[in-house]
Amino acid sequence: MSVVAPGTDVPKDVRDDVRGMFDRIAGRYDRANRIMSAGVDGLWRRKAIRALLAGLGDSPRVLDLGAGTLDGAIAISRRKPGALVVGADFARNMLAEGLKKPRAAKVAAQVADGHELPYQNAVFDAAFSAFCVRNLRDLEQAMKELRRVLRPSGRIAILEFFRPVRRRAFWDGFYNARVLPLLGHAVTGDRAAYRYLPESIARFVPRDEFETILRKVGFATVRGTDLFPAGVASLVVAE
């Protein structure tokens, strides 16, 4: 059975600045992430995927929303070789970079908009998203879509940089504001893209507000936790 709804086209809206930014840096995106996080992003991703897949059986249908260069989707397929894994992202160049990876053949990659997913109702057992939801223009609508494509009792695991409740002098005032744009520019040649990251965090919701949105759109059990180091990133699991 196809997961794509009959007669549904992937939205063809005009490429906005954020999409263009990700397409520009796609070729150096992975390298920049590893350097700027000192590899900790991989630890965060593994923790989230363990929570996502626990008890799902051998052949779940899993959506990776904002799949980017497919690191998360590939890691899911590695842990569950019998899974159907769909990696969806609005930045075509990011997916193209991901499809060059050796294990990407196990993943179905698709250009898609998180606000209007081109999938049938209740077709996925689980959905994963790493550092994507902060970029959505209508968070509640996108979470409704994520809920729509999950079966009853389906599960999501969301990794994200939420806006901190209290300002963190080192992370917010120094590293994100000053060091990160310099590192990003050195690796990718695109200073503006890595100014966007701290700006997008400052504009985003705190974790508790995001959890409230998930409950509002129909997730019954929502659990959030801040991750090492110092709650820089957070994991939210909902069912």
- Residue-wise pLDDT for 113-137, tens only, equals 999 999 999 999 999 999 999 999 9
Query: Mean pLDDT, to the nearest integer, of 32-37?
Result: 83
| Cα–Cα distance measured from residue 98 to residue 204, given in angstroms and rounded to the nearest whole number | 27
Question: Residue 166 pLDDT > 70, yes or no?
Answer: yes
CB atoms within 10 A of CB 122: 13
Query: Mean pLDDT, to the nearest integer, of 26-46?
Result: 89
What residue segments make up the domains of the chain, in order of their start?
Answer: 38-164+205-238
User: Torsion angle, CA of 60/65/67/68, rounded to 10 degrees?
Assistant: 170
Residue 128: strand, helix, or coil? strand
Rounded percentage of the chain residues whose pLDDT exceeds 70: 89
Note the pLDDT of residue 2: 42
Note the pLDDT of residue 175: 66
Of 68-82, 122-136, 180-194, 214-228, the range with the lowest mean pLDDT is 180-194
Question: Residue 155 pLDDT > 60, yes or no?
Answer: yes
Confidence of residue 6 (pLDDT cuts 50, 70, 90): very low
Say yes or no: domain 38-164+205-238 is CATH 3.40.50.300: no
Note the pLDDT of residue 10: 34
Confidence of residue 112 (pLDDT cuts 50, 70, 90): very high
Query: Mean pLDDT, to the nearest integer, of 22-42?
Result: 88
149 contact partners, CB below 8 Å, separation of at least 6: 63, 117, 119, 120, 121, 122, 123, 124, 127
| Cα–Cα distance measured from residue 142 to residue 83, given in angstroms and rounded to the nearest whole number | 24
